[in-house]
Amino acid sequence: MHLRVLAIASLIALAGCHLQGDPPGEAPSGVAVEPGDGRVTVTWNQEPGLTYWIFYQPGSSVVAAAPGVSIIFGAVSPHVVSNLANGTQYAFVMNATKDDSSAGPSSAVVVATPRLAGASWVSGTALGSTLQNLNGIAFSGTRLVAVGDSGTVFAGAYNYTSIDPPGVTAWTTPTSFPAVTTNLTAVTHSGQFVALSTDGSILTSPDGLTWTSATGSILSTGMNGIAFGAGVYVAVGDGGSIFTSTDLVTWTPAAFSTANNLFNVSFLNGGFVATGAGGTLLTSTNGSSWTVQDSKTTNALRGAAFRSTPTAVYVVVGDAGTIVTSTDGTTWNPIAPPLSPNLSGVIFGSRFVAVGQGGAVAYSDDGTSWSLTSAGSADLARVIFTPAMYVAVGAAGANAIAK
């Protein structure tokens, strides 16, 4: 009887081992870790039928399944590991299971150090068959929309790990679009995408793919920029035009007059900043009443950005590499330009990044000290920040990312 029990137990154990499956005989191969902004991307040669585990921790070494080690189960290549500290080295190791087997051998340890984005750029294939200039770009949280000349619109689903095209799953044209052939000069997102035409027409879209014409339009031509904040849309244009609206139907001229063309408007730190020709720099708390600021330059200013921490800093950029900064939006100081090409757009994501003529890119962690890099050779018009990635667009369908 005792031997029978042992035999049955042995059979159960063998059956259990069979059902569990044998562990993989080899460690995951081709494991690589690419650093990003507060994250890394882990890639490997994925084999069918295996379940992959990633183990990581700060430092130069890590042991699979050791106490205190962070674990990712069921990873699929490429896998993004987020919420990491920039400037801190992390060690990564992988193993795999088959069915519900025990773990197979571990890969070699790979280390990587996350760092701020903005220094290294990758250009995508120029968008469109007619290569229209792209003048603006906006982001909804899941989708990017770029607009340009002759009614050009491209939409792409944000995809951090996509290589071709970089940064999006695919760029596609709208599925529905009004009969608009005028140049689209700017786009913003306010719960919906809102595009501005040079003739003052307004187009809206819930998803970047289906577009309609707004009931109202701005009673002015030469419109160049639009922003949304605190429930108010502000559009600016040639001849110092400034219009406001709360519903995209009724547009009211602002109680302000300037002869200088205005090229851009941004909603920053609870207020609006407009920039234009001849060093024009205007600020407003509500979009209707504006204050002229002394920008300390006569060069055209074309974009503005703001950083709140660790100290408040405004940055405005413009022609001939012009950069002016302020801590309060009132007193402005010129910064020795790191380059001479015109700068057409600037954003703060995890650092300040400005783009401009000939693919020039300048980036700064504090707004004062700037470094130079390049995003190709095409003129770049605008840049935005998506999760851990900058995206810029420009002349002849140019598009580029930095992550």
- Domains by residue range for the chain, with CATH: 27-112 (2.60.40.10), 121-402 (2.130.10.10)
**CA–CA gap between residue 4 and residue 97 (Å, rounded):** 33
Contacts of 156 (CB under 8 A, 6+ apart): 143, 144, 165, 167, 168, 169, 170, 171, 172
72: Cα within 13 Å, side-chain hemisphere? 18
Instruction: Give residue for tokens 């401009």.
Output: 356
**CA–CA gap between residue 173 and residue 1 (Å, rounded):** 77
Beta strands in 39-183 (DSSP E): 40-43, 50-58, 70-75, 79-81, 90-98, 110-112, 121-123, 134-139, 143-148, 152-163, 166-172
Residue 329 has pLDDT above 60, yes or no: yes
Beta bridge partners of 53: 73, 95
Q: Which two tokens stand for residue 123?
A: 């250009």
Instruction: Give residue for tokens 């890119």.
Output: 361
Range 367-396 burial, b when 16+ CB lie within 10 A, else e: beebeeeebbebbbbbbbbbbbbbbbbbbb
Reported as a pLDDT band with limits 50, 70 and 90, residue 338 is confident
**CA–CA gap between residue 370 and residue 367 (Å, rounded):** 7
Residue 9 has pLDDT above 60, yes or no: no
Average pLDDT in the chain: 94
Query: Which pLDDT does position 14 carry in this prediction?
Result: 33
Residue 337 has pLDDT above 80, yes or no: no
pTM: 0.93
Residue 48 has pLDDT above 80, yes or no: yes
Reported as a pLDDT band with limits 50, 70 and 90, residue 364 is very high
Residue 12 has pLDDT above 80, yes or no: no
Reported as a pLDDT band with limits 50, 70 and 90, residue 20 is low
Do 211 and 176 meet the contact criterion of CB atoms below 8 Å apart?
yes
For the residues 180-197, what does the mean pLDDT come to?
A: 97
Q: First vs last Cα of the chain: how many Å apart?
A: 69
Beta strands at 333-335 and 110-112: parallel, antiparallel or unpaired: unpaired
Convert the pLDDT of each residue in 234-243 to its tens digit.
Answer: 999 999 999 9
